[in-house]
């Protein structure tokens, strides 16, 4: 029998004892065991804090996000092997899809959060806070990664999703993880962890996994650590009260199984789409994962006059659920994870049945397909009915963690809300209704007791992710019995692993600390116009003061006529009495447009596009004959991914301040304490290209310089080409680029051709040993020229033909066998990458 391994302190290992056997949920076969004896838990935690933590904390959010995306893609390519293991947990293919690909989806979703964080290793939260009248003392909040380790104690039902939905968040925050899967399904978590480690994508120490029950895991946690727990409420309360958790004030997030309720609206009578949707949703939540979901519907709350209808309709729906070997296509529900779990569910049903009656299913009889019901952990769906749910409260207190749910009646919506709340806190509730007034009443009054509420009706049913589906962008957790914790939730989840700290100081100091320009900070005068700098060279605080412009009466009238904005303050000076305006007033948007005219650099440069306007404020009116100048200052830089036909770029937020140039010349008698020369502020965004430092520009002189180093006996760094083969290959590609060779089919599949073509625009090198489709793999073509010198001359001559061709036909597009149809500029990009690739291959650069 194989022992399930642990990955700790940089290596795979097993426990020293024989271990506890793990059984196949379908066949009952004992096929593996888990043992944790001999593991040094304090050192494992220390290793994570130091080895993994130090590297993760230094990475920026963009680097961490791209790491998660790369890992998600890597695992997705290997998903099929995980499905085969997942069947052993009793999961069907649909169940496994939720667990496996849902887990990978968490990686993708959290990777996308990198766009919401600054391009640095820590986060700047919220808006700056002015602490003084003079504007020289202020505060801000930053959030830095905790210098601990995330300890994840997971449940058995989702070994992949449960691991990755937590780890994706702590990795995004810059915190390493020690994962403890539940033993009964740990073999699947181990398989995924093994692939993660093999990928080499995560820094060493970012993930450690202990596959077994470690009862002393909390004995040495520290204040910088974070502990998360998913499982039963009773176990969670014991862990939360651990003396070390209390002594070190360790953050503890608990997500416990809860008695989730779904309510059928009074309008959703039989014959309506909502009634059918309700029955379908309840059946799904009872049978997906054989009901082993912390978000499954445990209480079915329906109008008292519809109890019989719901009971009959649900019974008919459950009759269609086939149970058995989950590998079979005709099977719709697999087994529970173990026979021990079956016994636990049976005991819970028997307790609930003391105050309710079983109206569907049997604890003693089950029919299976392709499996022996006596050997596997199979169980029939069970529906109970509690006719007096206010008096008989076991149904609100005892959970059967399997395909079990209870129908109960309500007289009016207030009663439905009260019944839902009697579960004392749940992860999720839902209401199926087509009456938005009913939906609002339920949501507003029930929300205090539920972490998430789904309102389901005919409009969203087909697109809804369903009652039982937590999503990485939404908070997952709930009050009371559900544990009082929160997981996921987009940025909210990441912040659980960050320490929030209030920072006080001058605006100039806080600009340096936050990496975001703060109002009233000292400017860093730019040596050249800021629009001349590439994205990497622009820094927060870099600033330009423009020359002046006087706003004329005709400017205002022309803008009004151009935009059709004839607001009276701009066009009818006879109507100013009683208004805040004294004279003909410039349009606010004209002021911003005029400001742009002052600060925009006209020449082509790294600024490739206007990306938008974040905010704008007009502080006081400007009149005709007033004179303005502008201060343009870099406020913040935001990295961005580029996959389209554009060069790599980032976003720069510019702080635009429009000043009254005549303010100082105004008589003091015309000024008040609130007067300021600042008349308008805005935040504009520009798309700024990144500096291209990867490739050498291939001019005639540079090519001559490189080829002068090439000798007949030169050896390549990779591949089998000789120097002459390389030169003749380049000559051949120039013949394609000049249109002399076009009788070939494009080799790249149509569905990915655009993506491959767009890669020409990035600054990534061609992979070493990449295969040219017209060349036979691992085979050298016969040479065409007598020697290398003659080949070089032919190469140069063909390059001139290519250049002259596009001078004569600048708008033509020609086929390339890999990248499809290319225009003149795209051929230039390909030439630059291609020559750099082969010249580097022979050490010519």
Distance CA 549, CA 4 (A): 75
What's the rounded Cα separation, in Å, for the pair 245 and 139? 32
How far is 151 from 230, CA to CA, in rounded Å? 11
> CB neighbours (10 Å) of residue 749?
8
Residue 691, number of CB atoms within 10 A of its CB = 14
CA pseudo-torsion sign 168, 169, 174, 178: negative
- The 3-class secondary structure across 122-183, one letter per residue, is CEEEEEEEECCCCCCCEEEEEEEECCCCEEEECCCCCCCHHHHHHHHHHHHHCCCEEEECCH
Active-site residue, from 266, 281, 294, 487: 294
Does 634 qualify as catalytic in the annotation?
no
Under a CB-based contact definition with an 8 Å cutoff, are residues 368 and 410 in contact?
no
Would you say 420 and 263 are in contact if contact means Cβ atoms under 8 Å apart? Answer: yes
Q: Are 625 and 549 in contact (CB under 8 A)?
A: no
Answer whether 827's CB lies under 8 Å from 806's CB: yes
The catalytic position among 190, 255, 266, 636 is 255
CB contact at 8 A, 628 and 622: yes
In angstroms, the CA 566 to CA 561 distance is 8
Compute the Cα dihedral for 782, 785, 786, 789 and give only its sign: negative
Give yes or no: 167 in active site.
Answer: no
**Strand ranges for 495-603 from DSSP E:** 498-505, 524-525, 542-545, 549-550
The CA–CA distances, whole Å, from 813 to 202, 506, 616, 643, 750 equal: 42, 57, 44, 21, 17
Q: Is 506 left (phi over 0), alpha (psi -120 to 50) or beta?
A: beta
Residue keyed to tokens 């806080």: 510
Three-state SS letters, 415-472: HHHHHHHCCCCECCEEEECCCHHHHHHHHHHHHHHECCEEEECCCCCCCCCCCCCCCC
DSSP helix/strand/coil, 595: helix
What CA–CA distance (Å, rounded) separates 430 from 418? Answer: 14
d(CA 458, CA 818): 47
User: How far from the centroid of its chain's Cα atoms is residue 557's Cα?
Assistant: 49
Q: Is the dihedral of CA 55, 56, 57, 63 positive or negative?
A: positive
Catalytic residue list: 255, 294
């Amino acid at each position: 029998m194989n022992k399930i391994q642990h990955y700790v302190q940089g290596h795979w290992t097993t426990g020293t004892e024989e271990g506890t056997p793990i059984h196949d949920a379908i066949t009952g076969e004992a096929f593996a065991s888990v043992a944790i004896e001999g593991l040094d838990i304090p050192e494992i935690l220390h290793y994570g804090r130091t080895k993994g933590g130090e590297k993760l904390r230094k990475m920026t959010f963009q680097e961490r996000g791209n790491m998660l995306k790369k890992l998600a893609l890597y695992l997705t390519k290997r998903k099929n092997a995980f499905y085969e293991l997942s069947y052993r947990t009793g999961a069907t293919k649909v169940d496994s899809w939720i667990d496996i690909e849902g887990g990978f989806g968490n990686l993708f979703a959290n990777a996308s959060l990198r766009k919401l964080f600054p391009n640095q290793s820590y986060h700047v939260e919220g808006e700056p806070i002015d602490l003084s009248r003079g504007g020289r003392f202020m505060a801000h909040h930053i959030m830095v990664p905790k210098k601990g380790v995330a300890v994840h104690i997971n449940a058995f039902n989702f070994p992949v999703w449960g691991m990755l939905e937590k780890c994706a968040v702590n990795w995004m925050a810059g915190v390493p993880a020690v994962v403890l899967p539940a033993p009964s399904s740990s073999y699947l978590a181990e398989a995924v962890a093994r692939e993660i480690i093999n990928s080499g994508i995560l820094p060493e120490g970012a993930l450690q996994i202990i596959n077994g029950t470690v009862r002393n895991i909390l004995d040495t946690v520290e204040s910088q650590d974070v502990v998360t727990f998913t499982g039963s409420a009773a176990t969670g309360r014991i862990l939360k009260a651990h003396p070390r958790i209390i002594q070190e004030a360790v953050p503890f997030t608990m997500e416990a199984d809860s008695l989730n309720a779904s309510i059928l609206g009074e309008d959703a009578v039989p014959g309506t789409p909502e009634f059918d949707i309700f029955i379908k949703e309840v059946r799904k939540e009872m049978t997906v994962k054989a009901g082993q979901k912390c978000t499954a519907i445990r209480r079915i709350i329906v109008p008292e006059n519809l109890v019989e209808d719901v009971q009959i309709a649900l019974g008919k729906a459950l009759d269609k659920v086939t149970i058995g070997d989950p590998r079979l296509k005709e099977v719709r529900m697999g087994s529970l994870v173990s026979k021990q779990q079956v016994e636990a569910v049976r005991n819970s049903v028997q307790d609930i049945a003391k105050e309710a009656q079983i109206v569907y299913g049997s604890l003693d009889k089950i029919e299976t397909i392709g499996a022996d019901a006596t050997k596997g952990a199979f169980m029939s769906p069970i529906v109970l009915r509690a006719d007096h749910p206010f008096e008989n409260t076991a149904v609100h207190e005892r959970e059967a963690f399997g395909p079990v749910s209870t129908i109960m009646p309500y007289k009016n919506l207030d009663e439905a809300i009260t019944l839902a709340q009697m579960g004392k806190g749940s992860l999720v509730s839902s209401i199926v209704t087509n009456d938005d007034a009913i939906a609002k009443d339920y949501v507003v009054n029930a929300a205090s007791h539920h972490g998430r509420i789904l309102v389901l009706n005919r409009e969203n049913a087909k697109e809804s992710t369903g009652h039982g589906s937590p999503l990485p962008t939404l908070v997952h957790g709930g009050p009371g019995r559900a544990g009082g914790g929160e997981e996921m939730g987009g940025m909210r989840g990441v912040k659980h692993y960050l320490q929030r700290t209030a920072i006080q100081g001058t605006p100039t100091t806080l600009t340096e600390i936050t990496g975001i320009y703060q109002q009233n900070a000292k400017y860093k005068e730019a040596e050249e116009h800021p629009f001349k700098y590439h994205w990497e060279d622009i820094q927060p605080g870099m600033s330009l003061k423009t020359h002046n412009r006087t706003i004329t009466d005709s400017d205002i009238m022309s803008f009004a006529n151009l935009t059709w904005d004839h607001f009276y303050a701009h066009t009818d000076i006879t109507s100013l009495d009683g208004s805040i305006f004294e004279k003909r007033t410039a349009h606010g948007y004209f002021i911003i447009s005029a400001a742009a005219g002052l600060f925009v650099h006209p020449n082509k440069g790294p600024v490739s596009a206007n990306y938008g306007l974040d905010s704008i404020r007009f502080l006081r009116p400007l009149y005709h004959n007033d004179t303005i100048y502008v201060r343009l200052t870099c406020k913040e830089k935001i990295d961005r991914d580029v996959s389209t036909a554009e060069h790599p770029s980032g976003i720069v937020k510019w702080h635009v301040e429009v000043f009254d140039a005549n303010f100082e010349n105004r008589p003091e008698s015309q000024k008040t304490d609130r007067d300021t020369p600042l008349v308008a502020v805005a935040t504009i965004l520009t798309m700024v290209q990144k500096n291209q430092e990867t490739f050498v520009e291939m001019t005639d002189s540079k090519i001559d310089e490189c080829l002068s180093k090439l000798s007949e006996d030169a050896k390549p760094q990779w591949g089998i080409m000789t120097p002459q083969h390389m030169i003749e290959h380049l000559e051949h590609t120039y013949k394609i680029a000049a249109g002399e060779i076009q009788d070939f089919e494009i080799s790249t599949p149509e569905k990915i051709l655009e993506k491959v073509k767009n890669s020409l625009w990035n600054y990534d090198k061609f992979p070493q040993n990449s295969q040219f489709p017209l060349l036979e793999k691992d085979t050298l073509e016969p040479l065409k020229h007598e020697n290398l010198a003659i080949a070089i001359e032919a190469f140069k001559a063909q390059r001139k033909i290519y250049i002259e061709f596009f001078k004569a036909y600048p708008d033509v597009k020609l086929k390339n066998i890999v990248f499809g149809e290319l225009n003149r500029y795209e051929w230039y990009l390909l030439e630059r990458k291609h020559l750099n690739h082969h010249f580097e291959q022979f050490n010519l650069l």
